[in-house]
Amino acid sequence: MQDTPPRPRTRRRAGGLPDLGRPVSALLMEDGALDAVRALEALARSRHDRSPLSRLLQAEGTVTPEQLRDALARSHGVPALSRQTAPPSPALAELLPPDVCLRHGALPWMRRDDGLVLAMAHPEGFAQVRALLPESETRVVLALANEADIVAEVTDRHAAEMALRAETALPSDLSCRDMNRLTPARAAVLAGAGSTLLALLFAAPGVFFASALGLAAATMVISQLAKLSAFVAGLKPLPPGPPEPAGGRPETPTVSLIVPLHREESIAATLVDRLDRLDYPRAALEVLLALEAEDRITRATLEATALPPWMRIVEVPPGGVTTKPRALNYALNFARGTLIGIYDAEDSPAPDQLRRLAAHFSRAPPEAGCVQGILDFYNPRANWLARCFTIEYASWFRILLPGFARLGFAIPLGGTTVFFRREALNRVGGWDAHNVTEDADLGVRLARFGYRTDLLPLVTREEANCRLWPWIRQRSRWLKGYLITWRVHMRHPLRCLRDLGPWRMLGLQLVFLGALMPLLLAPLLWGFWLFQLGASYPILGPNTPALLPGLTLLLLGSEAVMLIVGLGGVLRSPHPRLLLTVSTLFLYFPLATIALYKALWEMLHRPFYWDKTSHGHSAPDQAGADVAGEGP
């Protein structure tokens, strides 16, 4: 027996004319859902933003979802459906993929008179979705349903499938998900390497330490030369941007912002207020708060907060890992935007950020698949650690990262204030759900697929991690992710070389190994500072004094590069008061060595463990400090 939905209502107005074809605004005014003034204002905004009136009314919450659905159904002369009165048929679940249903607000609902009833939240997308149905569906009729009903039905049917795909969709040769498996080949390599090093240490300790010291010196020289090269490259003016498009003001693309949340009850309400500052048409904007299913405390906080209609919660089902990239992959199914942006829970973006982003993408060529913004902090004066952290970020995002980009290297992304073309993100496979620095990995993978990352002065302020042990834990996760990312892309070095080319392959080594190796071997060099202060340094025995001039020059040169880059970053930032703190960075960076050894320990035992950084412990330095509006 076929399901039979309600027939469309054929209400008639004065004079006997039906509702079919009448403007939605007129029908809503007739029903008392909208007065004339608000209707005229909504029509004017709809024309100005070039967005459908139905989406604008929904995003602004001007009318209820039921009022909008019924008015659209009357205007198009089609049925209005709901899950309560006419439940969708589960037998039709395979006609459209769940991500297509969610993105377009569409659902094959039921069959009637040998035809398929396709329910839509917004009827302007009917023709596009109908073309995605199987060719056997020759007779398809439109019906209207609430988007909430469609999302709930798709989630009930496909949540487990989408959660599994969020973990495993990326091809295994581009993912790190097998790195916790000790295969016989890996065990043999580890055993051989360990045995060789131990044998050399006991048989010829002088040779062992001399080799290690030589490697430490070489990596430090290479790392500092790479930073100097990036610094010099960053002094060059930016190349001219793409020309303005012909034909007047460009269309406003739909932007989906995904904000992964996990145990963020102390800052969730503040996040909603900060995102509400964004100056972008609400009909073309949606914010998806990706929340782990077991995180009941954060959910309770959000439910107690009045979320605007353009902001909603996406509950991520439990899975094999609980990571930010897995949550992002899952939430991406629910995003309808052609541009996808990522923010963190503590972020406070500049209000004009999305308009500038949309204008850039409208002018940029298709190979510009990603835009990375600038991260800054709103609490740099919280303590010494916060000041150093702010200087480090200023150096990275305002000096080194632009320099590496101008040198033509692949850019490791920053994890937040990063935006993608939807098609580019889909083509590269999304995020690696098991990588604890999914941003760095995705930046390299974009380059391997032929995409370019553009750096723009789109500033977001966030909370500096200003507590010692949480800082070490956070940094250990980042360094562990850098190591994992390097291993993934060097798993098949010849293939990576073909994808990136020789120059960007060199850049991959300089950026990743240049960050890891100096930290790993730094303790060997620290001893020379102590030796000059009178302490014993017996590693090389009587040869130690002969090495002092060269090593002293190396260490002082490294400190000089650190000062140059740090001063350059501060001078390009809105924090000139931090100039004096740059001279103390030599006390700050050794903390990263501690973090790296913690990361190496976790690589052996818990490679996918996400050492969560909690937020909301340090308020902005002053009122308005979390509002970012300046460029580099």
pLDDT at 241: 53
When the pLDDT of each residue in the chain is averaged and rounded to a whole number, the result is: 88
pLDDT at 268: 78
Residue 55 has pLDDT above 80, yes or no: yes
Residue percentage of the chain with pLDDT more than 90: 65
Choose among 391, 460, 474: nearest CA to 419.
Answer: 460
Residue 487 has pLDDT above 90, yes or no: yes
pLDDT level of residue 228 (50, 70, 90 thresholds): very high
Task: Tell me the residue type at 220.
Answer: M
Of 158, 179, 204, the residue that ends a domain is 158
User: What is the pLDDT averaged over residues 571-575?
Assistant: 94
Instruction: Considering only residues 518 and 266, tell me which one the structure prediction assigns the higher pLDDT.
Output: 518
Which of 112-116, 403-407, 507-511 has the weakest average pLDDT? 112-116
Give per-residue pLDDT as tens, 200-221. Answer: 777 777 777 778 888 989 999 9
Instruction: Considering only residues 16 and 287, tell me which one the structure prediction assigns the higher pLDDT.
Output: 287
Give per-residue pLDDT as tens, 501-543. Answer: 999 999 999 999 999 999 999 888 887 776 666 666 666 666 6
Task: Tell me the residue type at 349.
Answer: P
Domain co-membership, 302 together with 365:
yes
pLDDT level of residue 237 (50, 70, 90 thresholds): low
How is 17-46 classified by DSSP, letter by letter? -BSTT--HHHHHHHTTSS-HHHHHHHHHHH
Residue 75 belongs to a domain: yes
Residue 386 has pLDDT above 90, yes or no: yes
Q: Classify burial at 631, counting beta carbons within 10 Å of its beta carbon; exposed 0-12, middle 13-18, buried 19 or more.
A: middle
Instruction: Considering only residues 106 and 214, tell me which one the structure prediction assigns the higher pLDDT.
Output: 106
**Cβ atoms of residues 447 and 503 within 8 Å:** no
| Chain center to CA of 631 | 21
pLDDT level of residue 1 (50, 70, 90 thresholds): very low
pLDDT at 15: 44
Give per-residue pLDDT as tens, 343-367. Answer: 998 899 999 999 999 999 999 999 9
Domain co-membership, 575 together with 486:
yes
Residue 630 has pLDDT above 80, yes or no: no
pLDDT at 538: 62
Residue 480 belongs to a domain: yes
Cα 20 to Cα 72: distance, rounded to the nearest angstrom: 10
Which of 250-264, 470-484, 591-605 has the weakest average pLDDT? 250-264
pLDDT at 202: 79
Cα 346 to Cα 56: distance, rounded to the nearest angstrom: 28
pLDDT level of residue 184 (50, 70, 90 thresholds): confident
How is 409-428 classified by DSSP, letter by letter? PPPPP-SSSEEEEHHHHHHH
pLDDT level of residue 16 (50, 70, 90 thresholds): very low
Domain co-membership, 174 together with 108:
no
Residue 4 belongs to a domain: no
Residue 246 belongs to a domain: no
Instruction: Considering only residues 296 and 628, tell me which one the structure prediction assigns the higher pLDDT.
Output: 296
Residue 163 belongs to a domain: no
Residue 625 has pLDDT above 90, yes or no: no
Residues 6+ apart with CB under 8 A from 362: 245, 250, 251, 253
Domain co-membership, 503 together with 584:
yes
Residue 500 has pLDDT above 50, yes or no: yes
Which of 52-61, 154-163, 379-388 has the weakest average pLDDT? 52-61
Of 112, 134, 158, the residue that ends a domain is 158
Rounded to the nearest 10 degrees, what angle do helices 468-489 and 438-448 cross at?
A: 30
pLDDT at 17: 47
Domain co-membership, 489 together with 381:
yes
- pTM here is 0.91
Cα 401 to Cα 271: distance, rounded to the nearest angstrom: 27
pLDDT at 129: 95
Cα 40 to Cα 601: distance, rounded to the nearest angstrom: 64
Rounded to the nearest 5 degrees, what angle is found at the Cα of 126, between the Cα atoms of 120 and 128? 130
Q: Which residue has the tokens 């009850």?
A: 265
User: What is the pLDDT averaged over residues 125-129?
Assistant: 94
Domain co-membership, 187 together with 40:
no
pLDDT at 472: 95
Domain co-membership, 499 together with 447:
yes
How many structural domains compose the chain? Answer: 2
| Strand positions, DSSP E, 222-310 | 255-261, 285-292
Residue 52 belongs to a domain: yes
Give per-residue pLDDT as tens, 295-347. Answer: 988 888 888 888 999 999 999 999 989 999 999 999 999 999 999 999 998 89
| Strand positions, DSSP E, 411-522 | 418-421, 452-462
Residue percentage of the chain with pLDDT more than 70: 90
Tell me how crowded residue 594 is: count the other CB atoms within 10 A of its CB: 14
Which of 298-302, 571-575, 577-581 has the weakest average pLDDT? 298-302
For residue 164, what are the CA distances in angstroms to 50, 90, 103, 125, 316?
Answer: 37, 20, 19, 29, 11
| Domain span including residue 76 | 24-158
Domain co-membership, 138 together with 173:
no
Rounded to the nearest 5 degrees, what angle is found at the Cα of 353, between the Cα atoms of 347 and 354? 105
User: What is the pLDDT averaged over residues 476-489?
Assistant: 95
Residue 612 has pLDDT above 90, yes or no: no
Of 158, 178, 206, the residue that ends a domain is 158
CATH number at residue 542: 3.90.550.10
Q: Classify burial at 164, counting beta carbons within 10 Å of its beta carbon; exposed 0-12, middle 13-18, buried 19 or more.
A: middle
Domain co-membership, 81 together with 207:
no
Residue 570 has pLDDT above 80, yes or no: yes
Domain co-membership, 435 together with 380:
yes
Which of 118-127, 245-254, 416-425, 549-558 has the weakest average pLDDT? 245-254
User: What is the pLDDT averaged over residues 175-194?
Assistant: 76
How is 71-132 classified by DSSP, letter by letter? HHHHHHT--EE-TTTSPPPGGGTTSS-HHHHHHHTEEEEEEETTEEEEEESSGGGHHHHHTT
Rounded to the nearest 10 degrees, what angle do helices 438-448 and 324-332 cross at?
A: 60
Residue 315 belongs to a domain: yes
For strands 311-316 and 348-349, give the pairing: unpaired
Domain co-membership, 180 together with 67:
no
Residue 235 belongs to a domain: yes
141 forms beta bridges with 117
Domain co-membership, 444 together with 584:
yes
